[in-house]
Amino acid sequence: DTININNRGAFILFEGCDKAGKSTQAKKLFEYLKNNGHSVELWKFPDRKTTIGQIINGYLANDKELDDKAIHLLFSANRWECMKDMKNLLLSGTTLIVDRYAYSGVSYSVAKGLDLDWCCLPDRGLLSPDIVFFMDLTAEAAEKRGGFGEERYEKKSLQEKVRKIFYMLKEKDNDSDSLWKILNANQSVEMLHKRIVESSLKLIEKCHQLPLKDDLWK
């Protein structure tokens, strides 16, 4: 399952609880790389534009009720339906910045009470990220950031559980200390951005020589 190729793009993932600043940092990194001549795209999961994504959107907006396992599988399917495009872009040399992925998928579902191994299985074999920027923020600090909105899951007690499960998933990854960059999200936007840019530039250089792997949780 290893695709050998030179000069591929890097798969840069942002993960974390709600309000941690993932989208802000993902966008700033995207702008930085674009303005410095890199071929780069910004992706976000759930991708609410697809047919599956529209069902997910209805669920998150509390318009629609769905069985916990059914919605879990839809979140996973929403990633699988994007894999071919993501793979082609990476292989053609485009760096992908991705805002949430399978780690969010498992963390939120397990926080609701589903079994961890059951939750990981549908996402097994997805493309593996080259780096995970984990924007770490306590639920207390998140709440102070203007409080949570109207969407499902934006509750302090659930976020606390989600954060713990992210850490469990980190431990599950091989060589997790080099893959995961735990960032204290309680710093200024600019400080964080600087660190993220430094790590990303090094990573992009390194990925030119590395095979792309579709071996998540294998």
By CB under 5 A, name the binding residues for Mg ion. Answer: 18
Cα separation of 199 and 213, whole Å?
A: 20
Cα separation of 195 and 88, whole Å?
A: 28
Q: Which is nearer to Mg ion, 52 or 89 (CB)?
A: 52
Q: Which of 15, 181, 201 is nearest to 98 (CA)?
A: 15
**45: partner contacted, choices Mg ion, ligand FDM, none (Cβ within 5-8 A by kind):** ligand FDM
Question: Would you say 207 and 8 are in contact if contact means Cβ atoms under 8 Å apart?
Answer: yes
Binder to ligand FDM among 14, 45, 133, 166 (CB under 6 A)? Answer: 45
Binder to ligand FDM among 60, 66, 77, 114 (CB under 6 A)? Answer: 60
**75: partner contacted, choices Mg ion, ligand FDM, none (Cβ within 5-8 A by kind):** ligand FDM
Residue nearest to ligand FDM (CB): 105
- Residue indicated by tokens 């007690």: 157
Residue 46 is a binding residue for ligand FDM (CB under 6 A): yes
DSSP codes, 86-104: HHHHHHTT-EEEEES-HHH
Residue 100 is a binding residue for ligand FDM (CB under 6 A): yes
Based on its alpha-carbon atoms, the radius of gyration of the chain, rounded to whole angstroms, reads: 17
Residue 134 is a binding residue for ligand FDM (CB under 6 A): no
Cα separation of 17 and 103, whole Å?
A: 11
Print the binding letters for residues 154-193 with ligand FDM: x by CB under 6 A, - otherwise. ----------------------------------------
Q: Which of 5, 16, 1, 12 is nearest to 184 (CA)?
A: 16
Size of the site for ligand FDM (CB under 6 A): 10
7 Rama class: left (phi>0) / alpha (psi -120 to 50) / beta:
left
Binder to ligand FDM among 108, 134, 166, 180 (CB under 6 A)? Answer: 108
Residues of this chain that bind ligand FDM (CB under 6 A)? 18, 45-46, 60, 75, 100, 104-105, 108, 153
